[in-house]
Structure 1
Amino acid sequence: MFMAAGPRFFHLPPGVDFARELVRGLKARLAGQPPEAMARVTVYLNTARMRRRVIEGFLEDGPGLLPRLRLLTDIGEGLPLLNLPGPVSPLRRRLELTQLIAGLLDRQPDLAPRSALFDLADSLAGLMDEMQGEGVLPERIAALDVSNHSAHWARTREFLRIVTPFFTGDDAPDGETRQRMAVSRLSALWMEAPPHDPVIVAGSTGSRGTTAALMEAVAKLPQGALVLPGFDPFMPQDVWESLDDAMTGEDHPQFRLRRLMDRLSVEPADVAPWTEAVPPAEDRNRLISLSLRPAPVTDQWLHSGKDLPDLIEATQGMALITAPSPRSEALAIALVMREAAETGVTAALITPDRMLTRRVTAALDRWGILPDDSAGKPLALSAPGRFLRHVAGIMGLKLTSDVLLTLLKHPLAFTGGDRGQHLLHTRRLELHLRREGPAFPTGDDLRNWARARVERGKDDGIEIWAEALARIIDIAAQVVDAPLVDLVALHLELSEAMARGTAAEGTGVLWDKEAGSEARAVMDTLLCEADAGGHLTVAAYRDMFEAVIARGEVRESVLAHPRLLILGPREAREHAAELVILAGLNDGTWPRLPDPDPWLNRQMRKDAGLLLPERQVGLSAHDYQIAVAAPRVILSRSARDAEAETVSSRWLNRLTNLMAGLPEKRGPDALRAMERRGTQWLKLAEALEEPTTEMDADPRLQPANRPSPRPKSDQRPKELSLTRISLLIRDPYAIYCRYVLRLKRLDPLRHEPDAALRGQILHKILERFVRDRPDAEDLNAAKARLLSTAREILGKMVPWPAARALWLARLARAANFFLDVDGKDGGTPIILEKAGAVKVAPFDFRLTGTPDRIDRLPDGRLHILDYKTGNPPTQAMQKAFDKQLLLAAAMAERGGFSDLDPADVARITYVGLGSSPKVETTEITQEITAEVWEGLRALIAHYAKEASGYTARRAVQKERYAGDYDHLSRLGEWDTTDDPVPAPVGGAR
């Protein structure tokens, strides 16, 4: 097959269909030979996807014998003579490392948080793979000179000694070790008896040491050959020679090829074309090659630029999209792909930004187009993945209402029984938990709630449902630190019980479909390898499980569009598309910033012979150089992300700067033409988002006016409390929503120790303190009793330890102030938290209220008090808005309290017990109460008229005042400077 002696290096340039040209070259070299000659050829390919494409290439010309197609990721495949031991599971290796790192964190807690335990194990496993791949033994790491480095690196170097046993070969090898063993044994076998049939490695750059060793062994075979992808034939010799230092050249796309050629003593001129295939845009390849010259020699732009062809012609098939936001970038790309689908063009979106690909997929969905996404879906975001994460989240923790409802509303919960009945019970439970709590529901709380419903005659199977759920909650709450085996088994048991629900057996639909099967496989693997995980805390198990499931992916069976592809950068060389969209070209995204290495810094890696962090940048640059050579290319980026302005990718920046600096080659004109072609797609995206004429005419899509509804008089509220009068003055629309529409604000699902609860607690404490006051109590005894009462009530009503301690401390600081003002005027409490009511004549309206406290003064008059946890309202605020106690005084004078005869009120007092205790007292006269009563009558008279509207936010104190019904009034489409628009409601208009 190969007639020339010596190393046989071939290449295929960027832009050609690598798989198809590889097949064409094989067939050309075996032309005229019998069919079985092809079956004697062995070809090593870098991925299973490339193998499928090569098979498709052979099938294009009809049936025939195939060569032996093997993968570089499993070199020992089909070679039993190598007698390789079975590899250890990657998960087991990481669990073993977790135990070692846990010991390290015990000794060096400042190294990392324990929540990063599994992430550190994953990072260390990656380092071990790299050491095995590059042939670096722990002894070389231990011998590094760290005298000029920080103490952190010295401690890390010492810690790496503990991984030495994994390199001795006594244990089962990990995947990379097994690969190196396979290469070593295969090379030895070939040295003893070299095969005379052709052996070819195609599509690899030899970026890993193990792969490079195999390529070296193949190159020495009598009929061995290498076919390199993306070889740049336009780089001059001096530039190749400049790529001699990893510290400066590792990020260049051709650096790995140069390193491979150095290893095999081959010069770039010795690398011959595999076929006579010509790239679709050879002039563009010259431009890209020059733009990617390594940084120390970019001055060559000045004299090499003159050798470039006319750049308008070279960039004819290129467009540049610089979108203002990620959303507009995704929409523009979706429009490009939609046009490709309509015109029958094969289009590939290539980007490492998974968020961008999800946006593009969502945008294409509006036209019913589903692209073929090679990455699949993260298992952690699938339905079974989220369900398992939710169940892990309730293990060993106090269960909150929102976490419980999240789990109950998951589509996989209680799927073994009647799902509809389950959702009905869940809705009832949610309303109960919102209104009454508790903040941390237990199994007994659910049983008692269900039993109470049954006792009220509402038995619809709710006790069976509640018992099934209560058992799960009780078991989850009792989970404690345990061996990993037990924690995984318990996690699996709880998940299946939650999915089974009220059914007698089964697991519902938890393990159904592709995502369910993949989730079950992850759990089975974790259970199988858990004996290597040691003893874990429940928190550590949750963190570990999140890390494990985040590594999984699901490929669901979908009917995707055959011509629209979404690929990662690494897959660029495995596909040939007529149109390629390189998206997300922002620095930090593409190329991605190197991951931080907690084990070795850059200089230590170089000294040890390991790969530098820039290796990934160089490989990404190689992928970019291949992808940008397609027949038609669109380069895309967004100028901003959700947080700030972005920086364009270094490759895009180099390209635009180079073109802008070559006016003699019409570079600036070519760049503007690229931008114009990209702007056309952005304009289409903007037009797609703009309202149409029909939408402009649709009243449902117009900004809302400031509402001022006018219901019928018989629908208006006939009763309001003292506190609601202030709301009627400030935000009448809220009164309309609450008492006319009867819309009550839902309490938050997750109860928190907020200001409202603190106020309720304070009132209960002071009510009991005043009611139970003994005779002749001195100040010290009163303070002790006040704090004792507070401790008891806080312990019963506040389940948050931190809030209990904080609120008790605040009350202790305000206790002396309260006791100094309490009863100072000699008043005797006669009413504590009792409701009253009075009719407001001549209207069909009643005013109600429940003052905190009313004292009888020695002269027979009354003193009305109200306790505040914040600052009490000022005199001006009371006069204009906060009329609660002024109206209570008017009620008392008119006999509004059943246990109290009409009497004059001497004063009203707001007692503020916040961080700065304060008392706000108003002396009351009959003139004051008469005035406030007449003001109330005028207010009621105004809103009794059908012509009066309940205006939204009529006189709020502050613009940032948050009303309960602002969303219903569509605040934001209008503001308080707009005139209200009255509208009759509740009858014929």
Structure 2
Amino acid sequence: MFERSDKPRLFALPSGADFPRLLVEGLLERAGAMPPEALARTTLYVNTRRMQRRVREVFDDFGARLLPRLRLVTDIGSDPLSGLPAPVPSLRRRLELAQLVRGLVERESDFAPGTAVFDLADSLADLMDEMHGEGVPPEALDRPSLAENHAAHWERSLKFIRIVARYFDADAAPDAQARQRRVIEALAARWLTSPPEDPVIVAGSTGSRGATALFLRAVAALPQGAVVLPGYDFDMPDAIWNSLDAGPSPAEDHPQYRFQRLVRDLGLSHGDVARWTGHEPPSPPRNRLLSLAFRPAPVTDQWMSEGPRLTGIAEATEGLTLIEAQDPRSEAVAIALALREAAETGARAALISPDRLLTRRVAAALDRWGVLPDDSAGQPLALSPPGRFLRHVAALAGRRVTMEALLTLLKHPLTATGSGERGPHLRFTRELELHLRRHGPAFPDHAALSAWAASRPEDGRAEWAEWLGRTLHGVEAAGEAPLADWVEAHLMRAEALAAGPGGTAEASGLWREAAGAEAFRVMSELRREAEHGGPYTPAGYGDLLASLLGAASARQAEIPHPTVAIWGTLEARVQGAELVILGGLNEGVWPEAPPPDPWLSRQMRQKAGLLLPERRIGLSAHDFEQAACAPRVILSRAVRDAEAQTVASRWLNRLTNLLDGLGANGGPEALEAMKDRGKHWLSLAAALETPTAEVPAAPRPAPRPPAAARPRELPVTEISRLIRDPYAVYAKRILRLRQLDPIRPEPDARERGTALHRIVEDFVRGHPDAETPEAARARLMAITDHVLSEEIPWPAARRLWRTRIEKIASAFVRTEAARLARGRPELLEDPGAVVLPEIGFTLTARPDRIDVLEDGRVHIYDYKSGKPPSEKQQRLFEKQLLLEAAMAERGGFKALGPSEVEGATYIRLGGEGEEEPVDVGQDTLNQAWEGLIRLIARYLSKEQGYTSRRAVANTRHEGDYDHLARCGEWETNTPPEPEDVG
């Protein structure tokens, strides 16, 4: 197939070329005069499985024939005939390393604080893989110069890395990377003495890793061996090529650096790399433009000398479009519109971006038109239904089950899917949610579920509650346990929840479809290797599971659109598309920010011979250069993200700066034309997002229901609301709407007030005769502990509120003794009512406390957990005590009869325990009562509307019914618009 040569054989294809198609064409051209079986004797190594599939598809386009042996470079290490032991599973090695790392973190608490143990183990495993791949032994880390002049942190990390040196011993079971390198080294040594007679070709690999570069060199040196490089810059001058590794700092961030190093190691020159085929790239002028734009930093001054000689600028940029959107949403919509047009015209189009958030936004925008792109990365397993379900179940361990966590699991689409009938489960879940929201408890347990089910056991809810309580039994158990125990308990609980009452895990949807099968694979591997994991806490197991699920992905089950795709940068090297969109071209995305290395600094890596961060940047630059040379390209970025202004990608900056400086060549005009084409897509995106008809803002409501529908009875606590926010009374009392209690109950003001009121009520009811202050204080604190333990399930709130009572206990006991010396408590939370016959209205009340004094008069008390209202607030808004006093004088409380009111007092259950007396003079009470009659009479008239937020105490306060009133579409100074309703 190849002519005999003493030199190693290197071929390449330029950037922008359809690599798989031209690879096959070149193979067929060389095998044209040979017998058919010659091609079958050829071994073709490619770099990815997707490339393997694409090469097969291209061969199919050329008709039936014998195909070469298609193999993956990454599969060389799995050769069972190499005589080496099987590689240690990656998860097992990471679990073993996690145990070592855990010991380090326990001894050195300040080593990488805030990093999960398994994440540290992952990074250490990656470092070991890199050392194996690059052929760097642990001894290289023992050089005295490696840690000199470095912080103590790096010295500690070096000491720890030396602990794992045993994994590099010759008799140690090899990792996958170690086995890969050993097999390649053995293969290269065997080929030196006994080279294969049949052709061996490696295509599509850049040789960025040490073991792969070793394999490329070995193949290139074979008599019938060849390497076909992707995205090779044939336009780079020899002087620039030779400067890439000159000086103390090689240009590793240059897209051609890996090729230059491979060519140099093979003893070749830039001109010795031959073209695989005679095909030109889609736009040769653009290849030359990008080659100049990517000049290494030390020689970018050549823009001044080479730029004026650059020709074909208009042709080079004719297929380029630059989108500079104002925000990520606009960018995503503009990209989606371009992909939609490609789908309509039948053009093969692809979005390439490392930004997965951007690709998900684009996919969501395409869903508007029913276009499902072929996403090469699939869906992260952690975000798939099985992944979310498994994470929710794992999160239960080691803590009390909250209402939110329980309902999240019960409503998950995979829960109770094993019986074939999910209707009862959904009904019971809905009823349980309403019960828990309204009555609690905040942490439902088996007893609470059984009590709820006992109200209606005849409809099957008792069996359902028993299944749920049994499944969740024991989740609160905390502490360390072997990883194998956590895995078994987790899987048992997950499968039981997925099965449902009377169902089976096999019949459920947990392990079905692509995501379920991948989740089953991950969990099966974890179960198989768990014995190597050591002890884990519940939180540690949750972190481990999240890491494993986050590293896996599941392909979408639906059939994607045949011509619209979303690719990662690796897939972009091996695909051909008419339209390529490079999205998210900002620093931190293109190139991606290098991950932090907790083990070695950059200088230490360089001294040890390991990969530098610039190597990753150079790979990203190569991906950009290849994709940007496609027939039609859209370069896209958002000028601003959710936090701040963004910085354009360094490569986009290079391109735009170069064009802007080529004034004599028409560069600025070409750049402006690129931006104009981008503005076209941005204008379409803006038009798509702009409503066709303007929706007017809602007016400030003041509904006027019929007089017959208006409430004829209100408690005194609602009078303040009727004054401040009449619309809330309308919604609650007329529309009969009640806000659902939160699914995540918190120790708020209402909970605090209820608990404090009960504490005081129990204290007053159980007051013995001749109690000393010390005994009264001790009894008050005992009641506090009892009530808080029953009413408040949050330990922090219990401690905080107990401290609040303890602070005022002495003052409260002292003032309570004074109150008891004047009279006796007659009413505690007892209801009362007064009818207003002149307007046909009933006022009700349930005062906290009314004491009957020795002279027969009464004194009314109201407990406040917050600050009592001021005198002005009492006169205008907060009329509760005044109206209760007026009711007492009118015989509103049967146990008292008509009684003269001696006084009224607010008692604060907080602060310093201060008391605030209320003026209950006859004139004041008469004015309050007459004002009440006028107020109620007005609202019983059909002409009066219930205005929203008429006089709220705090404009920042959000009412229960503000969303119903469309608050926010109008201001508090907007006049209300009365409207007849009903």
TM range (shorter): over 0.9
The equivalent position to 2:251 in structure 1, one of 249, 252, 255, is 249
* 2:119 aligned partner, one-letter code: D
Q: Is the 8 A contact 1:115 1:540 kept in 2?
A: no
- Distance in 2 (CA, whole Å) between partners of 1:945 and 1:251 is 80
Structure-to-structure mapping, 1:66-85, within 5 angstroms: 66-76=67-77, 81-85=81-85
Q: Is the 8 A contact 1:115 1:543 kept in 2?
A: no
* 1:704 aligned partner, one-letter code: A
Q: Is the 8 A contact 2:513 2:557 kept in 1?
A: no
The equivalent position to 2:732 in structure 1, one of 722, 727, 738, is 738
The equivalent position to 2:704 in structure 1, one of 706, 710, 713, is 710
- Distance in 2 (CA, whole Å) between partners of 1:902 and 1:307 is 107
Q: Is the 8 A contact 1:310 1:666 kept in 2?
A: no
Q: Tell me: CA distance 1:170–1:916, structure 2 relative to 1, closer, same or farther (3 Å).
A: farther
Q: Is the 8 A contact 2:77 2:176 kept in 1?
A: no
Structure-to-structure mapping, 1:629-778, within 5 angstroms: 629-692=629-692, 695-696=693-694, 701-778=695-772
Q: Tell me: CA distance 1:306–1:945, structure 2 relative to 1, closer, same or farther (3 Å).
A: same
| Pairing 1:439–2:442 present | yes
Deviations 1:668-708 (A, max 9, x none): 2111111110011111111111122xx44xxxx54222111
- Distance in 2 (CA, whole Å) between partners of 1:654 and 1:851 is 76
The match for 1:495 is 494
The match for 1:811 is 805
Deviations 1:764-786 (A, max 9, x none): 11111122222333333322222
* 1:29 aligned partner, one-letter code: R
Q: Tell me: CA distance 1:43–1:944, structure 2 relative to 1, closer, same or farther (3 Å).
A: same
Q: What secondary structure, in the 3-state scheme, does the structure 2 residue paired with 1:88 have?
A: coil
- Distance in 1 (CA, whole Å) between partners of 2:65 and 2:533 is 50
The match for 1:557 is 557
* 2:122 aligned partner, one-letter code: D
The match for 2:43 is 42
The equivalent position to 2:908 in structure 1, one of 895, 906, 912, is 912
Q: Is the 8 A contact 2:131 2:137 kept in 1?
A: yes
| Pairing 1:177–2:173 present | no
* 1:185 aligned partner, one-letter code: A
Q: Is the 8 A contact 2:759 2:783 kept in 1?
A: yes
* 1:466 aligned partner, one-letter code: A
Q: Tell me: CA distance 1:503–1:702, structure 2 relative to 1, closer, same or farther (3 Å).
A: farther
Structure-to-structure mapping, 1:746-895, within 5 angstroms: 746-822=740-816, 824=818, 826-895=822-891
The match for 1:213 is 214
Q: How far is the alpha carbon of 1:840 from its aligned partner?
A: 2.2
Q: Pairwise CA RMSD of aligned residues?
A: 1.7
The match for 1:403 is 405
- Distance in 2 (CA, whole Å) between partners of 1:679 and 1:939 is 60
Q: How far is the alpha carbon of 1:168 from its aligned partner?
A: 1.2
The equivalent position to 2:370 in structure 1, one of 365, 368, 371, is 368
| Pairing 1:33–2:27 present | no
Deviations 1:515-566 (A, max 9, x none): 1111111111111111111121222111111111111111133221111111
The match for 2:528 is 528
- Distance in 2 (CA, whole Å) between partners of 1:80 and 1:800 is 59
| Pairing 1:326–2:328 present | yes
Q: Is the 8 A contact 2:825 2:851 kept in 1?
A: yes
Q: Is the 8 A contact 1:42 1:199 kept in 2?
A: yes
The match for 1:20 is 21
Q: Is the 8 A contact 2:719 2:879 kept in 1?
A: yes
Q: Is the 8 A contact 2:472 2:493 kept in 1?
A: no
Q: How far is the alpha carbon of 1:759 from its aligned partner?
A: 0.8
- Distance in 2 (CA, whole Å) between partners of 1:480 and 1:408 is 26
Q: How far is the alpha carbon of 1:300 from its aligned partner?
A: 2.0
Q: How far is the alpha carbon of 1:242 from its aligned partner?
A: 2.7
Comparing 23-32 and 805-814, the one that deviates more: 23-32
| Identity across the alignment (%) | 56
Q: Tell me: CA distance 1:258–1:577, structure 2 relative to 1, closer, same or farther (3 Å).
A: same
- Distance in 1 (CA, whole Å) between partners of 2:640 and 2:818 is 64
Structure-to-structure mapping, 1:413-432, within 5 angstroms: 413-417=415-419, 418-432=421-435
- Distance in 2 (CA, whole Å) between partners of 1:296 and 1:867 is 78
Q: How far is the alpha carbon of 1:821 from its aligned partner?
A: 3.8
- Distance in 1 (CA, whole Å) between partners of 2:660 and 2:868 is 67
* 2:194 aligned partner, one-letter code: A
Structure-to-structure mapping, 1:584-599, within 5 angstroms: 584-599=584-599
Structure-to-structure mapping, 1:105-184, within 5 angstroms: 105-113=105-113, 116-144=116-144, 145-184=146-185
- Distance in 1 (CA, whole Å) between partners of 2:655 and 2:872 is 67
Structure-to-structure mapping, 1:959-978, within 5 angstroms: 959-978=955-974
Q: Is the 8 A contact 1:639 1:647 kept in 2?
A: yes
**Count of residues paired in the alignment:** 975
Comparing 845-854 and 917-926, the one that deviates more: 917-926
Q: How far is the alpha carbon of 1:265 from its aligned partner?
A: 2.2
Q: Is the 8 A contact 2:283 2:629 kept in 1?
A: yes
Q: Is the 8 A contact 1:246 1:612 kept in 2?
A: no
Q: What secondary structure, in the 3-state scheme, does the structure 1 residue paired with 2:75 have?
A: coil
Task: Give unpaired runs (5+ residues) of structure 1.
Answer: none
Q: How far is the alpha carbon of 1:659 from its aligned partner?
A: 1.4
Q: Is the 8 A contact 1:872 1:918 kept in 2?
A: no
Q: Tell me: CA distance 1:169–1:970, structure 2 relative to 1, closer, same or farther (3 Å).
A: farther
Q: How far is the alpha carbon of 1:158 from its aligned partner?
A: 0.2
Q: How far is the alpha carbon of 1:919 from its aligned partner?
A: 2.8
* 1:465 aligned partner, one-letter code: W
- Distance in 1 (CA, whole Å) between partners of 2:179 and 2:285 is 44
- Distance in 2 (CA, whole Å) between partners of 1:276 and 1:452 is 83
Q: How far is the alpha carbon of 1:247 from its aligned partner?
A: 4.4
Comparing 436-445 and 295-304, the one that deviates more: 295-304
Q: What secondary structure, in the 3-state scheme, does the structure 1 residue paired with 2:318 have?
A: coil
* 1:345 aligned partner, one-letter code: A
- Distance in 1 (CA, whole Å) between partners of 2:455 and 2:561 is 55
Q: How far is the alpha carbon of 1:930 from its aligned partner?
A: 0.4
- Distance in 2 (CA, whole Å) between partners of 1:443 and 1:395 is 16
Q: How far is the alpha carbon of 1:310 from its aligned partner?
A: 4.3
Q: Is the 8 A contact 1:719 1:846 kept in 2?
A: yes
Structure-to-structure mapping, 1:55-70, within 5 angstroms: 55-70=56-71
Deviations 1:445-500 (A, max 9, x none): 1112212333xxxx210111011001011132346532111211111111111111
Q: What secondary structure, in the 3-state scheme, does the structure 2 residue paired with 1:822 have?
A: helix
Q: Is the 8 A contact 1:605 1:611 kept in 2?
A: yes
- Distance in 2 (CA, whole Å) between partners of 1:30 and 1:910 is 100
Q: Is the 8 A contact 2:283 2:316 kept in 1?
A: yes
- Distance in 1 (CA, whole Å) between partners of 2:895 and 2:252 is 89
- Distance in 1 (CA, whole Å) between partners of 2:923 and 2:376 is 81
Q: Tell me: CA distance 1:136–1:898, structure 2 relative to 1, closer, same or farther (3 Å).
A: same
- Distance in 2 (CA, whole Å) between partners of 1:665 and 1:843 is 90
Q: What secondary structure, in the 3-state scheme, does the structure 1 residue paired with 2:459 have?
A: coil
The match for 1:512 is 512
| Pairing 1:897–2:893 present | yes
Task: Give unpaired runs (5+ residues) of structure 2.
Answer: none
Q: Is the 8 A contact 1:318 1:674 kept in 2?
A: yes
- Distance in 2 (CA, whole Å) between partners of 1:312 and 1:842 is 90
Q: Tell me: CA distance 1:68–1:901, structure 2 relative to 1, closer, same or farther (3 Å).
A: same
- Distance in 2 (CA, whole Å) between partners of 1:780 and 1:52 is 85
The match for 1:295 is 297
- Distance in 1 (CA, whole Å) between partners of 2:841 and 2:69 is 93
- Distance in 1 (CA, whole Å) between partners of 2:58 and 2:631 is 20
* 2:517 aligned partner, one-letter code: S
**Please, what TM-score do these two structures have when normalized by structure 2?**
0.97
Comparing 226-235 and 932-941, the one that deviates more: 226-235
Q: Is the 8 A contact 1:893 1:902 kept in 2?
A: yes
- Distance in 1 (CA, whole Å) between partners of 2:852 and 2:827 is 9
Q: What secondary structure, in the 3-state scheme, does the structure 1 residue paired with 2:74 have?
A: coil
- Distance in 2 (CA, whole Å) between partners of 1:815 and 1:304 is 87
4+ residue stretches of structure 1 with deviation over 6 A? none
